[in-house]
Structure 1
Amino acid sequence: MKKIVFCIFLMFVAFASCKDDEITTDPQYKLEYSVDTVSFDTILGGVLAPYQTLKVFNRSGEKIKIASINYASSNEYFMVNINGRNSHNVSNIEIADGDSMFIFVQTNGDVSGSEVPFALLDSISFSYNGNVDYVYLSALSETPIILDHFVVSSDTTFSGTQPYLVKDTLKVEEGATLNIDAGVRLYFYNGASLYVDGSLNCNGEVDNQIEMRYFRNDNVLKDTKYYLAPGNWKGVWLSQKSGDCKIMSTNIVGAYQCLVVDSAFADRKVVVGNSQIYNAKQGALVSESSQIYAYNTLFANGGYYNVYLQDGKYLFNHCTIASYLSFSLSDTKPALYLNKKDSLSVDINNSIVCGNNRTKKEERIDLDNVASNLNDSVDGKNFRLNIVCSAISRTDSLTGGNNHGNIWDFDGDFYRPKSNFIDKFYVDFKTDSMSPYRTIGSDAILKMYPECATDIFGKNRVDDEFPDAGAFEY
């Protein structure tokens, strides 16, 4: 009896094995694909883009043999790895029911030198059981102007619609001027920088801004672009040797230090207007012994000291100075750090200074080597801080100075991201109807500084009774 039961068991096992080995040829049993099109964001020609993944599923209930997987383009814009094999053509691949396989796709774009964006379109075909399925491949390629150890030794202008790809240090020599026209895009490799010993004129326009950022366009996290992550490139450095510099309608994003202005207090002035400087591993603005006038500008999300000012003379009109990067030290570091070693003068008008909920409110403006009175002179070392008609998320309303019309201790957590902040690297700093800093600005500032009559995006500030604080007008 035991022998009979054992034989029956073996028959069942053998039958099941035969079933597992049986390959269907019925065309009604279909494969499924994770996407119908493998899409790449805009890529730079000649620069290998990170791979995209295509997953092929067999959920048919039967084992399927794929007679051929074929990528047979004469252009060969794309490179494919099929089930671990770097080949454009693979035959006789079996996929059991419930199993899957991977195909990895890369591209280095169009290298023909086209000056206009070029659409790359192709497909991979899957032939099985009389069926032919297609998964499409798509990318938009731009040919960059390559700058490798490029030196500006005489007056030079960057213009046009082609992006510039900076592979190392882009240096402006002493006595030379680099002019950057509106709409120009400067993309930087890992560790690359713009280093200025001469002069820099960024001539962006409100509706045609200049971009300076990391070169990758793919996502570092879901729905979050890689170039938004801080620390990918070094940033813009205005050295001690540099002359007057102007940065207008320019976005500087995702650097180690986005904008560094090195000491040249007596001879040089830097003007920053209608710009967005944010997501820095260390500081959005780091300055020592310099003269800076900033208006209608966002300085945000510095990982250590968001805005660091050591000595010098500074004027901020209608600026938003905010620190909200939750994944970094900016959780607990100040939005604005003032360090007096010799002489420091800071005027903040119609502006916002705030940080997130983990920063102690009394430290969102941090004062180092400074007495509690804002007009301070000790051993000939002078400190002056004037704050007028601004919103400051600091507990104590600093004494002394020309401080009036301000909102102190407002809820710095007002800036809340619209989705999980850890996954975003940014928040939306635009004003809405419930903002606590609406119409708290002084219209006298607009009369004294007519360039502030419109906001960072050109919206009129004088339509309301009083202007909003910060760079953005509701």
Structure 2
Amino acid sequence: MKRYIYFIISLGFLLLWSSCRKDFEFVPSTGSLEFSKDTVYLDTVFKNIGSSTYNLKVYNRSNNDISIPTVRLASGETSNYRLSVDGIAGKTFENIEILANDSLFVFIETTFDTNITPLNQLQFLDTDAIEFDSGSNLQKVELVTLVQDAIFIYPDRDSNKVVETLTLNIGGELVETNLQGRELQPSELTFTNEKPYVIYGFAMVPDGETLTIEAGSRVHFHDNSGIIVSNGASLNINGGFSNDQELLENEVIFEGDRLEPNFSEVPGQWGTIWFLDGSINNSINYATIKNATVGVLCDGNPNEVTNKLNITNTQIYNSSAFGILGRNTSISGENVVINNAGQSSFAGTIGGKYNFTHSTIVNYWNNGFRQLPSVLLNNFIVDEENVATLADLSEANFNNCIIYGNDNPEILLEEIEDDAVSFNFKFTNCLIRFQDSNNNFTGPNYDLSDTNRFEGNIFNQDPNFLDTDKDKLLIGDDSAANNQGLLIFATQVPFDILNENRTSSPDLGAYQHITFPE
């Protein structure tokens, strides 16, 4: 019984105490608010694409609970900005309360709607302000966004708003897919550097056509988007050497459509550049391909006289799965740099023909565990019923390359032995991370003394990269790759990816070594 008496007395005390509180007696604000920022800079956005959400913290440093009579956007309902105050969305708010010595968050987003406000130039500074109170108590926080114009490529929609999906010609068979996208129109088959391109869904190069991407072009992809090069079609990426290695003014850059710095190195923001079986005469020169799921996906045509894909002077970074994935295809690479892939930086699978010279193929993935090495070669594919289909690996040559990473070993040679198919590869004068202390990799493919497969290589010595976390894969004065290249391969690729002549004393990889700044 005493327990219930104590409960009633305690309850009564709490009720009496709460009735005496003055916490909820709000007084008008006096223009003495403080803010986490005096200006909120929303990073560059494309027209008609929403920004990330930014926040502003508003402080009441006084000992009084206050009420702000009005919080509003200066441009009112016509503003391109949107606010959320105390969990309520809008553009004008009244009687916003803040307890003594407390704070509240204001969340800010923007979409520059060109249907309301025309964009008359390539870049436009969109400004507004959040106004707190009015009259002599008025306080402002400025809002600034750089809006960039672009050319948008969208899939079509029918009258019921159903988004168009693609039908692909794969090996002569038409396959309906659930990939949203459409074929490029004749007027869209040349990308220039006049404006960036923003692609929603997959933009497909039609049969028999060629998409040409000129030097300095910028191509941005939305989630689950990319480029598909169909049967009989070609893609020619014609970038050029850039004098400014920060701006990369002449390089062709492929990345996601989120321009905020927080997204600049996030893997898997878009799909892939996909060369279908049957596409022909494809080339990539001076491109940066970053933050895709698979940077380059190349299928079929392993026995062409000319390679299905020639890729030169190109960097591929931050792929959530593969940097380059070849599937029974033919690829030639020179001055190629690949880093940071969730699986392999380069995978030549289901056989094929691959030749890489003076390339830096490494993997310093640090976003989680990866199961595969920097370089994977195999000659099979296994279907859902666990039946393997084999194909010739007619050749896979790596000459004067660096193959390294933060795992060990960084090459994997998976062969299903069968007299009916070949498995030919050779690493010549490469710096390779391969240390098999536990003797897990046995058989003739891993006989490092077999000069038919391994010749003149250096194993497990420091490449001395500048900064692998930031994809700066230049090598320094202390690199084990310095002066180790064979001249016969250097004369085939006489200039490194930074246009430095390498023929007098060739280093391994895509870069001639430099002295790092202190």
Question: Per the shorter chain, which TM-score range?
Answer: 0.7 to 0.9
Do the aligned partners of residues 67 and 468 (structure 1) sit closer, same or farther apart at CA in structure 2, a change above 3 Å counting? Answer: same
Gaps of 5+ in 1: 1-8, 220-224, 372-377
* Equivalent in 281, 292, 298 of residue 261 of structure 1: 298
Q: Does 1:211 align with 2:213?
A: no
1:343-422 → structure 2 map (5 Å cutoff): 343-356=393-406, 359-361=407-409, 364-369=410-415, 379-395=419-435, 397=448, 399-401=450-452, 403-411=454-462
Superposition TM-score, scaled by structure 2 size = 0.77
Q: How many residues were matched structurally?
A: 435
Question: Please, which moves more after superposition, 244-253 or 130-139?
Answer: 130-139
**Residue matched to 1:94:** 97
1:457 to 498, 504, 512: 498
Partner residue in 1 for 2:382? none
Change (3 A) 1:173 1:19: closer
Aligned match for 1:318, one of 358, 370, 375: 358
> How many Å separate the matches in 1 of 2:90 and 2:185?
47
Change (3 A) 1:62 1:298: same
Partner of 1:440: 484
Alignment of 1:38-187 (within 5 A): 38-73=40-75, 76-109=79-112, 111=114, 112-127=118-133, 130-149=136-155, 150-152=182-184, 154=186, 156-187=189-220
TM-superposed CA distance for 1:237, in Å, is 0.7
| Alignment partners' CA distance in 2, 1:50 and 1:26 | 32
For 2:394, the aligned partner's letter is L
In 2: Cα distance, 1:37 partner to 1:26 partner: 21
- Name structure 2 gaps, 5 residues minimum: 1-12, 156-181, 243-249, 380-390, 437-447
CA distance in 2, matches of 1:107, 1:141: 10
Do the aligned partners of 1:178 and 1:199 also contact (CA within 8 Å) in 2? yes
SS of equivalent to 2:270: coil
- Asked if the contact 1:72–1:88 (Cα under 8 Å) also holds between the matched residues in 2, the reply is no
Name 1:335's counterpart in structure 2.
Answer: 374
Equivalent position to 1:305, from 325, 332, 344 = 344
Question: Using the alignment, how far apart are the partners of 1:228 and 1:141 within structure 2?
Answer: 21
Matched with 1:3 is none
Query: What SS does the corresponding residue of 1:444 show, helix, strand or coil?
Result: helix
CA–CA distance in structure 2, aligned partners of residues 96 and 68 of structure 1: 16
1:17 & 1:230 partners in 2: Cα distance? 53
Cα distance in 1 between the residues matched to 2:29 and 2:228:
65
Q: In the alignment, is the contact (CA less than 8 A) between 1:338 and 1:367 conserved in 2?
A: yes
Q: Which amino acid aligns with 2:55?
A: T
Question: For each residue in 1:361-387, what CA deviation from the matched residue of structure 2 results, as whole angstroms up to 9, or x when unmatched?
Answer: 2xx11011178xxxxxx6253333222
Relative to structure 1, the CA distance from residue 352 to residue 98 in structure 2 (aligned partners, 3 Å threshold; closer, same or farther) is: same
What is the alpha-carbon distance in structure 1 between the residues aligned to residue 396 and residue 494 of structure 2? Answer: 22
**Alpha-carbon deviation of 1:288?**
2.1
Structure 1 position 258, deviation (Å): 1.3
Between the aligned partners of 1:60 and 1:457, the Cα distance in structure 2 is: 59
C-alpha displacement at 1:306, in angstroms? 2.4
Q: Whole-Å Cα distance in 2 between the matches of residues 25 and 33 of structure 1?
A: 14
Separation (CA, whole Å) in 1 of partners of 2:278 and 2:121? 35
Query: What does residue range 240-255 of structure 1 map to in structure 2 within 5 Å?
Result: 240-255=277-292
Indicate yes or no: 2:75 matched with 1:33. no
Question: Hey, what's the Cα distance between the residues in 2 that align with 1:256 and 1:281?
Answer: 5
Specify the alignment match of 1:290 in structure 2: 329
Q: CA offset at residue 350 of structure 1?
A: 1.7
Name the TM-score, length of structure 1 as normaliser.
0.84
Q: Measure the CA separation in 2 of the matches of 1:398 and 1:215.
A: 48
Work out the CA distance in 1 between the residues paired with 2:282 and 2:255: 19
Are 1:415 and 1:427, in contact at CA under 8 Å, matched by a contact in 2?
no
Residues 200-229 of structure 1 show CA distances to partners (whole Å, capped at 9, x for unaligned) of 00001121111112111225xxxxx32532
Deviation at residue 49 of structure 1 after TM alignment: 1.4
Identity of matched residues, %: 27
SS in 2 for 1:295: strand
Structure 1 residues 201-240: aligned runs within 5 Å: 201-207=236-242, 208-219=250-261, 225-240=262-277
Q: Which sits farther off after the overlay, 53-62 or 96-105?
A: 53-62
CA contact (8 A) 2:358 2:490 kept: no
Report the alpha carbon displacement of residue 411 of structure 1 after superposing the two structures with TM.
4.4
